[in-house]
Amino acid sequence: AANNGSNGNSRNFMYSPVLTGVRQVMISRMAKPEEVLIVEDENGDIVRETTKDTDVIAQYKTMRETLVFLTHLNCDDTESIMLAKLTLQVDGSQWSWQNLNTLCWAIGSISGAMSEDEEKRFLVTVIKDLLGLCEHKRGKDNKAV
């Protein structure tokens, strides 16, 4: 079916708050990709994990596809949610390894979903914030994560 501009814009406007909520949930609950091998154990220690959970990998792939699609619908919203969540990690107000890991997995999952210039600018901001976080969280175990 043909889609005229005004109908698309009104639909975009109507679903925008819902899609923002979906983005927030997807980013904060992102599953772990296969290649991540360093985790925090139940005692708060940093350990290497070598098992491969195929269910989690399948969940990650589905979540990644969904987040890429949501990024295509509104790149600016995805970026602003991710940067806001990163700010809450850097300022310590919502700091945890789990929050930081899921955020980083979500950021990595949308690689290629933005234009090259947008992605470069976004990643420079993310890397600067992460380097700043490293300065606050001194220690070999912390930086390894």
Percent of the chain with pLDDT over 70: 85
Does some domain include residue 100?
yes
Does some domain include residue 80?
yes
Does some domain include residue 14?
no
The answer to whether 67 and 102 have CB atoms below 8 angstroms apart is: no
Whole-model pTM: value is 0.79
Does some domain include residue 9?
no
- Residue 4, pLDDT > 70, answer no
Does some domain include residue 44?
yes
Q: Give how many domains the chain has, as a whole number.
A: 1
| Domain span including residue 87 | 20-144
Does some domain include residue 7?
no
Helix (H) or strand (E) holding 47: strand 46-48
Does some domain include residue 13?
no
Quick: pLDDT tens for 101-145: 999 999 999 999 999 999 999 999 999 999 999 888 876 555 555
Helix (H) or strand (E) holding 39: strand 38-40
Q: Of 70, 86, 79, 92, whose CA–CA distance to 18 is shortest?
A: 70
Q: Which of 1-10, 58-67, 85-94, 125-134 comes out lowest in average pLDDT? A: 1-10
pLDDT of residue 9: 75
Does some domain include residue 4?
no
Per residue in 94-113, is it b (16+ CB within 10 Å) or e — as a string? eeebeebbbbbbbbebbeeb
pLDDT of residue 95: 93
Amino acid letter, 130: L
Mean pLDDT, the chain, as a whole number? 87
